[in-house]
Amino acid sequence: MCGIVATIGSREVVPLLLKSLQRLEYRGYDSAGLATVMPGQLHCRKAEGKLVHLREKLEKSPVAGCCGIGHTRWATHGKPDVRNAHPQLDEADQVAVVQNGIIENHRLLRQGLEQQGVRFRSDTDTEVIPHLVAQALADLRGTAPPTDLLRQAVARAVEQLEGAYALAVVWQGQPGELVAVRYNAPLLIGLGEGQFFCASDTPALAGFASTIVSLEDGEMARLTPLGVELFDGSGQRIQRTPQPLRGDDYTANKRHFRHFMLKEIHEQADVAAAWVERCLAAPADESLATVLRNVQRVQLLACGTSRHAALVGAHLLEQLAGVPSSVHYASEFRYAPPPLMPQTLTIGVTQSGETADTLAALTIEMERRHALEPNVPPLMLGITNRADSSLGRLVPHVLDLKAGVEVGVAATKTFLGQMLAFYGIALLLASQRHGASAQVKACRQALEQLPEQLSRTLHAMDQCCAELAHGFAETRDVIYLGRGINYPIALEGALKLKEISYIHAEGYPAGEMKHGPIALLDQHVPVVSIATPGPVFEKVLSNAQEAKARDARLIGIGPVCGDTEIFDVLLPIPPVHELVSPLLTIVPMQLLAYHVAAHRGLDVDQPRNLAKSVTVE
Ligand code: AGP
């Protein structure tokens, strides 16, 4: 993934780069680095690990300059050490490059360069780029006008690249200029007062730029202290009207909470209250109603937690609205999409709006629809917490979760927001088809209670889960069980635990346990089982009994009642309509994962090897 930022103008750039990188750290935190250029000088500083280490290095060994580039890395090619940190430089240390993406033909390019005598100093795919730019600069010198030399050299270098990339380049030979290019990876240009930027995402620009321009694939930008010029893939100047930069509050703080994740879990009651007001109490969204009117089936594309929300969504769409629905891993769909059926609504679900697999799957879907019906707008919808993201620009309709900035890498309040979005869609579809059925009415009533129930559950559960977490000190494996609409919650509970506590966990439909996973059970493997009254309540309890008979410690999530006495520990939720229950059963799942990880002293908000926005394949 990685985050890149570059800026040029009248100000010293190091403080700006550091601030922007801090806001991009959600994209990776394996290493960080920056480079500045001044006439005849290029200075580069890099550090392993989080940005704080780069700051420390800069305090001991400061650099100056009004033009610079910065990078925060999520390692793909090469270990997360200083050698492989960006910026990557050419042999003469005159050209510096930061890149987000993957250069798929880097091996071939590297071989070619090495045969010409170029010495590589890293294992990264990126390092080919500064070498190619340096070669192009040498070739073009004397033929290209000096003011256009760097742009032409970068254009010549990127012609040779295959893959997906967003990159920014500086050269000490032209310190009043930096060049940025995008291909299948996000890159925005930010326009401030006498200061110009490019960055992977808007948070890096907030407070620095008032307007933004989004680069399209193959386009290039030249930034100077006087402004920004845009070029298309053939090198022709293009014009694009800047859009105002939304004033989101990216200065989120933890308030009294120990971690952002805990704060964000607790914010779910507010997310629900805002949703009830916006989507339940207000008249139906007319444009969404129009999109849904003739839909005959729905296919959902997503990854990770967003896919779990999509599974809840598919259940609702089928059981509440009677619309056949299928959920696909976006990464699988993009290489094997099922045959396209008429009147199929495709929904892309991604909190970040930047997940490469989801965007690629949606793009494929868009292209094949366009090939079939060129003049019909594609029946496609996006669900995201970042309406200003690549997803927002790709699909014709977007449902904005409005959950507020989520800093914790493990998604929590955005997951709740995504599920709520599906309740909205399913209720609207159900009403369009069957009017106000008894089930629709019951569901709406249950949703009206949700903010208050969530708030109570959050407060009651926090302490319970903190105490329960002590018992997980030696735990190596956990099984999560759920059925029906709570099966995705079992998957999500297991994913949350894995992500932040590094404990192996698996989620299963409770009825599947006896078909294999039961072999894993003994007194060392706790089983977390979701049991909420509904058609499969008794079945879930029987499945839990089967686990208990194998000495597993049973942790139940469900209402307090005689039936739930079988659990060794019950994490109680209020009695609730089964179809609405995932919005509550998720709370103990998140809090348990959080407290287990916090108890182990782990970095809950930035767990190892992960990033909030996965912009590579
Ligand atoms: C969530 O906790 C995970 N970090 C991860 O599975 C995430 O849901 C996945 O990468 C998809 O992200 P998206 O919602 O931004 O597309």
Q: What is the DSSP string of 566-592?
A: GSSEEEE-----GGGTHHHHHHHHHHH
Interval between CA 316 and ligand 1 midpoint (Å): 21
Average pLDDT over residues 207-236: 95
> Which of 26, 27, 260, 305 has most ligand 1 atoms within 8 Å of its beta carbon, as the pocket-test mutant?
305
pLDDT of residue 426: 97
Give just the sign of the alpha carbon dihedral 271, 276, 278, 280.
Answer: positive
- Structure-token pair, residue 169: 């380049």
- The CA distance from 164 to 77, in Å, is 14
CA angle 512, 513, 515 (to 5 degrees): 70
pLDDT of residue 436: 81
| Nearest ligand 1 atom, CA 613 | 15
**In terms of residues, how long is the chain?**
617
End-to-end CA distance of the chain: 9
- The CA distance from 355 to 421, in Å, is 19
| Nearest ligand 1 atom, CA 358 | 16
| Nearest ligand 1 atom, CA 411 | 2
| Nearest ligand 1 atom, CA 614 | 10
pLDDT of residue 142: 87
Interval between CA 411 and ligand 1 midpoint (Å): 7
- Structure-token pair, residue 323: 């619309």
- Put simply, whether the predicted model's pTM sits higher than 0.75 gets the answer yes
pLDDT value at 473 more than 90: no
Average pLDDT over residues 465-492: 95
> Which of 301, 329, 355 has most ligand 1 atoms within 8 Å of its beta carbon, as the pocket-test mutant?
355
Interval between CA 111 and ligand 1 midpoint (Å): 35
Within 8 A by CB and 6+ apart from 463, the residues are none
| Nearest ligand 1 atom, CA 352 | 15
pLDDT of residue 249: 61
Within 8 A by CB and 6+ apart from 486, the residues are 530, 532, 581, 582, 585
- Structure-token pair, residue 84: 């492989």
- The CA distance from 84 to 73, in Å, is 9
Residues acting as catalytic residues: 2, 612
**Within a 13 Å sphere around the CA of 231, how many CA atoms are in the beta-carbon half?**
16
Interval between CA 417 and ligand 1 midpoint (Å): 13
Interval between CA 496 and ligand 1 midpoint (Å): 11
pLDDT value at 248 more than 70: no
- The CA distance from 184 to 574, in Å, is 46
- The CA distance from 539 to 529, in Å, is 12
How much is the mean pLDDT over the chain?
Answer: 94
The alpha helices in 119-267, defined as continuous H runs, are 128-140, 149-158, 260-266
DSSP symbol at 462: H
Residue nearest to atom 12 of ligand 1 (CA): 350
Average pLDDT over residues 162-173: 96
Residue 276 pLDDT grade (very low, low, confident, very high; cuts 50, 70, 90): very high
pLDDT value at 337 more than 90: yes
Residue nearest to atom 9 of ligand 1 (CA): 304
- Structure-token pair, residue 454: 């969530």
pLDDT value at 247 more than 70: no
**What domains are defined for the chain?**
3-245 (3.60.20.10), 260-448 (3.40.50.10490), 453-617 (3.40.50.10490)
Interval between CA 221 and ligand 1 midpoint (Å): 30
- Structure-token pair, residue 186: 């996000």
| Nearest ligand 1 atom, CA 612 | 4
Average pLDDT over residues 258-268: 96
The partner residues of 178 in beta bridges, in order of sequence, read: 223
What secondary structure, in 3-state letters, does 394-449 show? Answer: HCCEEEECCCCCCCCCCCCHHHHHHHHHHHHHHHHHHHHHHCCCHHHHHHHHHHHH
Judge whether 584 and 594 are in contact, CB under 8 Å.
no
Residue nearest to atom 16 of ligand 1 (CA): 350
pLDDT value at 516 more than 80: yes
Average pLDDT over residues 482-506: 97
User: What is the CB < 6 Å shell around ligand 1?
Assistant: 303-306, 350-352, 355, 358, 409-411, 499, 610, 613-614
Greater pLDDT, 209 or 250: 209
> Which of 265, 351, 604 has most ligand 1 atoms within 8 Å of its beta carbon, as the pocket-test mutant?
351
Least confident window among 249-263, 417-431, 567-581, 595-609: 249-263
Judge whether 578 and 484 are in contact, CB under 8 Å.
yes
- The CA distance from 465 to 346, in Å, is 38
pLDDT value at 94 more than 80: yes
pLDDT of residue 57: 97
Strand order in the sheet with 163-171: 88-89, 95-103, 163-171, 178-183, 220-224, 227-231, 237-238
CA angle 601, 604, 610 (to 5 degrees): 125
pLDDT of residue 250: 64
Interval between CA 513 and ligand 1 midpoint (Å): 26
Average pLDDT over residues 415-438: 94
Judge whether 180 and 220 are in contact, CB under 8 Å.
yes
- Structure-token pair, residue 16: 């700006």
Judge whether 31 and 82 are in contact, CB under 8 Å.
yes
Task: Give 1-34 pLDDT, tens digit per residue.
Answer: 799 999 999 999 999 999 999 999 988 899 999 9
- The CA distance from 515 to 538, in Å, is 19
Residue 367: count of CB within 10 angstroms of its CB = 11
pLDDT of residue 617: 77
Residue nearest to atom 5 of ligand 1 (CA): 304
pLDDT of residue 1: 72
Least confident window among 51-60, 317-326, 378-387, 431-440: 431-440
Nearest to 98, CA basis, from 119, 80, 84, 79 = 84
pLDDT of residue 588: 98
Judge whether 581 and 485 are in contact, CB under 8 Å.
yes
Nearest to 191, CA basis, from 250, 263, 240, 255 = 240
pLDDT value at 251 more than 70: no
- The CA distance from 443 to 60, in Å, is 60
DSSP symbol at 453: H
Residue 323 pLDDT grade (very low, low, confident, very high; cuts 50, 70, 90): very high
pLDDT of residue 545: 87
Average pLDDT over residues 164-189: 95
Residue nearest to atom 15 of ligand 1 (CA): 352
Average pLDDT over residues 496-501: 97
pLDDT value at 252 more than 90: no
Average pLDDT over residues 293-311: 97
> Which of 300, 306, 401, 407 has most ligand 1 atoms within 8 Å of its beta carbon, as the pocket-test mutant?
306
Tokens 């490019």 belong to residue: 198
pLDDT value at 401 more than 80: yes
Q: What is the full DSSP assignment across 266-296? A: HTHHHHHHHHIIIIISSPP-HHHHHHHTT--
Residue nearest to atom 4 of ligand 1 (CA): 410
| Nearest ligand 1 atom, CA 304 | 6
Residue 27 exposed, middle or buried by CB count within 10 Å (0-12, 13-18, 19+):
buried
Interval between CA 113 and ligand 1 midpoint (Å): 37
Strand order in the sheet with 344-349: 325-329, 297-302, 344-349, 380-384, 397-400
Tokens 């742009």 belong to residue: 151
